[in-house]
Structure 1
């Protein structure tokens, strides 16, 4: 009779690619089930039979037996497109042990339909279904051979546990089977009903810590916490869609945030986590909805005092051409003068004076009257004056620009440049996982990165140290952008920190959820809907813009309070900008002093 009920269920949910895993405790022969033709028809891709006998064995032996079975059964599931699991047992202790170890061994996912065949009194059956994750949350039904009146003694009832209904969690009978009437599903019920399409307003536990712009906490009226941030808005949209109330479980560290997920106290950690191999051993992830790049921030490189500031406005080619013109023009002018002197006679003009006059015209001095008045010299002098005007205007304009907008030193933009430049790299407490990950890398570059990494209490401490010292800070790109906008931006909108162009880990990120969480398909579908609608990016842009405006307003207010008689909006040039001019002046004073002593000694 049990075989007929099992066959009817398997045939009702059969697919062309389904296989069957059959488990018994040794008290029921697998042939009792397999001899029914409908069981074979419902499993077109084959049947795997397992017998686990643990009666009278101690805990260690039981653990070893279940571990071996689950390892083999899970391999069958992973290699099959569609799997149905049938457990035949009448011992509640065995069933409870199976429920516990099926979670540890990761045997089931929501797509894996579990059929438990037993004969338990209804109170014991209700307690069993309600007290274990495998039976209450997973896609499970239970075929129970009930102790019914004689005219119904061949009836098999099908039960399932619904964790969320308008009346709360309850066990319901969804179908029945008798040899005479066959398989009958009750009106308004389905054989494997969806359990997570509607939570009917119940509280769903989640864990999170403040991590702007993803998750932020504020103290509201009457001490009630109020939440905001892109991930909170995302969670709120999902909660509205699935009709549940958000309950944030208190935690004190990021390790505790994910630990509550592993323990299934929390359904999910609702702040994105980067997908790492080490983390996948402890929990699963939702649909990847965020580009979880790990970026580095460093202080903007300062302007170093350089005498070359007088040289930068023109290129090397221009300076060479000017020097060549300054050498050729006096020679040509001197040639014209000498020809005139030979033809007309008169006082001889010294060569030094010609060079001095040509150089003076280039520097904008008055036109000397001692030059000859012949047409050829006038044409040459006019051309030279025109050149001097154009050159001087271009140089002065570019010099002004280079003094007010000086040339900054190159800054680190790649991982290689970061490792070569930074003396120390900081990261918040959760960064210990990344430090270990980098240290085990085969890349020497990432190993060096791991050696430079140090853990600091928070991003505020890390970024402040990056401003004060020759350091860098690692964290999520969006998070650092918001923190820079809040704390490290001037009244003119200039940030004190910048984000490198190359990400340390351009990886994927999602919400941590328990291994093989049955609600993942529903959660993923809601995540996709919100992300594809563009809402997540819009929320992030709005929060970042708001933070930038607030930061500018705060800095402008501080600057206004510091204002004196001078207009603080005007940017004053510092010795850093004008060092070249002072060095040129000192050089001129030195040359003048040397010339004075030479003239004094020779007179």
Structure 2
């Protein structure tokens, strides 16, 4: 390590004796380094040692001032340089021309070779270009051209490169190989091992002909990649830079975007830049398959097909408008595909996914429109776009029939007023008792204090009092009490008349606790939704109670497409409630109002399980970044919410429906049975007191 004074860290990795990796951080110096790089030859089972003593600036000095010449391999050979140095010069010029015109100010580069390009050549390139963000060098060596053999090697190489890529920024992976089998294996494992994300650029340098690499075109079209084909076997040295365009017809995938010659340098040959944003706007208008299912954001309707005359499924709604917006912005068409099981998707016991999630994971569709709730289980299998809407879960129940509250005669006065009246009667009785107990006012002709106290109660009930009044204090007290009772009785009678004309519309379930406390009601929950694992994983609390309700038949899991039918049957009947997303429930209520003209359903006041909705695509899909860009501008402009309002013209009609309405019709016994209960209780109490008095008199007579 004493030979590397300016290197912060040096990591040499030998993975099962077939891969050598050397990593230099930023600020490295290798011009005076004597380096040995070793790699095992798997097929021959012996070690090849590569020892080089480099003079990295010799070739750059000899070529100085000659860039205006028409260079050829013959001219390079005439300079007296070795083939190794000439190769280093050629690769350096191409890599420098490409990277300096496209890269960020501080970027990292990872070189990968198949062993045919010596490490000395790579180190010459590194020392000349001096990458500001650090550099890594990996070499995989094998002397056989078997694809399976290369895949076995590269499966381990990709893991090491991926680890380095995660620690780097603005990374470009440069692969140098003339072996088509090696390139095919690397591209396959870079995708399978999730090495190539869109932010990582891939530059392949090879002497192979374009036709020999046609099997790579489809895979490379989905990567942020460029292919540089070096032609140095003719009189003129020339490098062609190609880009593979995604979703292009076979034969038109490859587009030459630039060329390089020693004399003229790098020249663009098309309207496309180097490392173009291929997915920001497609050159050819592809047709993408999009997974969707019936929801409040994308409603399923049946329309007649003019060609066949038979009804066919058609989707409409804010989600469809968003797909139209994206298809116009990115230049693609789309076809909707419904999942066979009609669910959004849940991870099964065997590790696979059901519903639309499974269609995306298996790459049966390019986009899952959903919309999907963002959670960590799904995020492990797919990539989410930016959220399009924030929502909550709520309870959807049926509103009861208008009815008069049988205890409504108590409502004209607030409970505190009733308590104050009772307290005032007690105070009056106490005052009369004290005054009559005073010796100075005692008289045998006067009434008892208890009779006077009951007289105040008679006045409150608007009855007369026949007891004579002798004292001035009695008259003053009676005058004040009559004024108070006049105000109370007038207020009570007026409010009671208004309340008897009011009908109460019951909405019994506004919290999850209300549901669990009523054993007669059943809960309908979406099958295979993202909340199902959360319910079943709950250890305690209200969600544990809800999960346990499945064991006794109170919790039913149903696919979302069946929700409209269940709302019109089970939920309308009153013994079932639907646990659903607010946006979807709101759409169902609005559609019911459009059909019937009534607000027959309500949503609970309690909101729970906050969720964010987004679309999905395959893991590391290059479609996600351009979709995110368009969706962000769309949501910031308020387009999505405007589409929601426009799609449901009655979406806000039932938001704040009163639970009490005024009617003008005769009252029935069912409306007033509360007063009859009070009357019956009073009669029973009087009968009990009367019987007790008779019993006491009989006991005294004995």
State the TM-score bracket (shorter-chain normalisation).
0.7 to 0.9
Structure 2 residue corresponding to 1:186, chosen from 269, 276, 300: 269
**2:623 pairs with 1:519:** yes
Greater RCO, CA 8 A, separation 6+? 1
Does the 8 Å CA contact 1:164/1:198 hold for their aligned counterparts? no
Aligned with residue 128 of structure 1, among 198, 215, 219: 215
Corresponding residue of 1:269? 368
* Superposed displacement of residue 101, structure 1: 2.1
1:582 is the counterpart of 2:582: no
Structure 1, 536-545 or 230-239: larger mean CA deviation:
536-545
Considering only aligned residues, what root-mean-square deviation do their CA atoms show, in Å?
4.5
Task: Output the CA distance in 1 between the equivalents of 2:391 and 2:142.
Answer: 47
- Aligned match of 1:49: 138
Give the Cα separation in 1 of the matches to 2:109 and 2:541: 48
Aligned to 2:461: 363
Q: Distance in 2 between matches of 1:448 and 1:89?
A: 62
Aligned residue number for residue 183 of structure 2: 95
2:392 paired residue number: 293
Match of 1:245 in 2: 333
Is the contact made by 1:273 and 1:292 (CA closer than 8 Å) also made in structure 2? no
- Residue 393 in 1 paired to residue 490 in 2? yes
From 143, 160, 175, the equivalent of 1:72 is 160
Does 2:527 correspond to 1:439?
A: no
Distance 1:53 1:421 in 2: 72
- Given that 1:486 and 1:550 are in contact with CA atoms closer than 8 Å, whether structure 2 keeps it comes out as no
| Matched residues, number | 578
* d(CA) in 1 for partners of 2:110, 2:645: 50
Query: How far does residue 526 in structure 1 lie from its aligned partner after superposition?
Result: 0.8
Is 1:107 the counterpart of 2:195 in the alignment? yes
Asked if 1:208 is matched to 2:292, the reply is yes
Superposed displacement of residue 232, structure 1 = 1.6
Cα distance change on mapping 1:516 and 1:215 into 2, 3 Å: farther
More strand by share: 2
Against the structure 1 CA distance between its residues 219 and 329, is the aligned structure 2 distance closer, same or farther, given a 3 Å change threshold? Answer: same
Q: Secondary structure at the match of 1:157?
A: strand
CA distance in 1, matches of 2:369, 2:179: 39
Q: The residue matched to 1:151 in structure 2 has which SS?
A: coil
The answer as to 2:640 corresponding to 1:536 is yes
Give the distance between the partners of 1:354 and 1:572, measured in 2 at CA. 40
**Which structure has more helix as a fraction of its residues?**
1
Cα distance in 2 for partners of 1:57, 1:576 equals 89
User: Alignment partner for residue 429 of structure 1, among 527, 531, 546?
Assistant: 527
Query: What is the Cα deviation at residue 466 of structure 1?
Result: 5.6
Structure 1 counterpart of 2:382: 283
Q: CA distance change for structure 1 residues 33 and 596 in 2, over 3 Å: closer, same or farther?
A: closer
Give the TM-score, by structure 2 length.
0.69
1:455-481 CA-to-partner distances (Å, cap 9, x unmatched) read 123334665656656765433221122
Q: 1:469 to 1:34 in 2, by over 3 A?
A: farther
Q: How does 1:316-335 map to 2 (within 5 A)?
A: 316-327=415-426, 329=428
CA distance 1:387–1:155, shift in 2 (3 Å): same
Cα distance per residue 1:39-97 (max 9 Å; x no partner) = 733564222324264946684x6555333222222222222111111222333333333
Q: Is the 8 A contact 1:25 1:54 kept in 2?
A: no
Task: Report deviation, 1:522.
Answer: 1.7
Q: Distance in 1 between matches of 2:371 and 2:242?
A: 37
The residue that corresponds to 1:82 in the other structure is 170
Aligned pair 1:145/2:230, yes or no? Answer: yes
Change (3 A) 1:104 1:409: same
Please give the TM-score of this superposition, normalised by the length of structure 1. 0.79
Instruction: Tell me the CA shift for residue 123 of structure 1.
Output: 3.0
Residue aligned with 2:279, SS? coil
Question: 1: distance between equivalents of 2:545 and 2:430?
Answer: 61
How far apart are residue 281 of structure 1 and its match? 1.8
3-state secondary structure, aligned to 2:235:
helix
Distance 1:205 1:91 in 2: 35
CA 1:546–1:91: 2 relative to 1, 3 Å: farther
Q: Residues 214 and 229 of structure 1 are in contact (CA less than 8 Å); yes or no, is this contact kept in structure 2? A: yes
C-alpha deviation, 1:398, in angstroms = 4.5
Q: 1:140 offset after TM fit, Å?
A: 1.2
User: Which position in structure 2 is the counterpart of 1:25?
Assistant: 114
Q: Does 1:483 align with 2:483?
A: no
- Consecutive unaligned residues of structure 2, counting only runs of 5 or more, are 1-86, 345-353, 550-554
